[in-house]
């Protein structure tokens, strides 16, 4: 089935560039010029991915992200006009999957969007095992569901992919660069802080459900899966 990307930016020129680039890549698009229009469009016709500008009048992208996340796990790719780490980190912690800083190449935006869509495609190869278990954690890789005991934990596509990577190689320590490669493939310029933010999100969501030993930090090396039994461990 064709995939649809909702492009949200108050600059019509940027929307035009991105719609053209996605069209060349064979990806359908919808457009919105502000946050309120984006929420209405997403409700009317749920997209497979939202490309979302942070700095917009009336309702900025961060607020749009908050509202989308209140009822949807749709992947979100942020566009930021400022190369300020606080914007990027806040966006990730609100539930965005990735970000691109303006000025950007439309081809880079499409490449990052396609990487996210591949991870969330129903027909994409996920794992040789449909169900992964570790401690009291269960991942349904076909249904993109993560459960702690009988509680389903709502994760973004990036959070799920990170956790699946750790669970599939329980005991292995992954550096931040290795986790970036698993998410996007080699060559994507993403800061270590972005991975740290995704890890914090995962820890917070599972801690809220009673699992405080989901992921261990190995100082100076990276991260590995914890015992997933509910007790603090080595972080």
* Structural domain span for residue 84: 4-120
- The reported pLDDT for the residue numbered 75 is 92
Nearest to 229 by CA among 218, 216, 28: 216
The answer to whether residues 107 and 11 belong to one domain is yes
Domain containing 176 — which CATH number?
A: 1.10.10.10
Give the chain's domain count: 2
pLDDT tens digits, residue range 101-121? 888 899 989 988 988 888 766
User: 219: pLDDT confidence band, cut at 50, 70 and 90?
Assistant: confident
pLDDT tens digits, residue range 148-199? 988 999 888 888 989 999 999 888 999 988 888 777 665 455 556 778 888 9
Is 126 part of any domain? Answer: no
The answer to whether residues 97 and 193 belong to one domain is no
The answer to whether residues 72 and 135 belong to one domain is no
- The reported pLDDT for the residue numbered 231 is 65
Cite the DSSP H helix spans in the chain: 12-24, 35-44, 61-69, 85-94, 106-120, 157-168, 176-184, 192-208
């Amino acid at each position: 089935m064709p995939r649809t990307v909702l492009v949200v930016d108050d600059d019509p020129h940027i929307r035009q560039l991105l719609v053209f680039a996605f069209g060349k890549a064979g990806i359908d698009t919808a457009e919105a010029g502000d946050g309120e229009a984006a929420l209405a469009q997403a409700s009317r016709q749920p997209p497979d991915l939202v490309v979302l500008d942070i700095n917009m009048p009336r309702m900025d992208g961060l607020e749009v992200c908050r509202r989308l996340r209140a009822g949807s796990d749709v992947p979100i790719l942020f566009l930021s006009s400022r190369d300020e780490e606080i914007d990027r980190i806040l966006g990730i912690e609100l539930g965005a999957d990735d970000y691109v800083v303006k000025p950007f190449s439309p081809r880079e935006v499409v490449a990052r969007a396609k990487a996210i869509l591949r991870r969330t495609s129903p027909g994409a190869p996920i794992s040789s095992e449909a169900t992964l278990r570790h401690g009291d954690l269960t991942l349904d890789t076909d249904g993109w569901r993560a459960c702690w005991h009988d509680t389903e934990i709502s994760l973004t596509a990036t959070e799920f992919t990170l956790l699946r990577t750790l669970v599939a190689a329980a005991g292995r320590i992954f550096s931040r660069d290795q986790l970036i490669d698993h998410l996007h493939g080699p060559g994507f310029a993403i800061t270590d802080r972005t991975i740290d933010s995704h890890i914090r999100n995962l820890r917070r969501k599972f801690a809220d459900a009673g699992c405080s030993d989901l992921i261990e930090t190995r100082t100076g090396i990276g991260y590995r899966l914890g015992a997933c039994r509910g007790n603090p461990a080595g972080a």
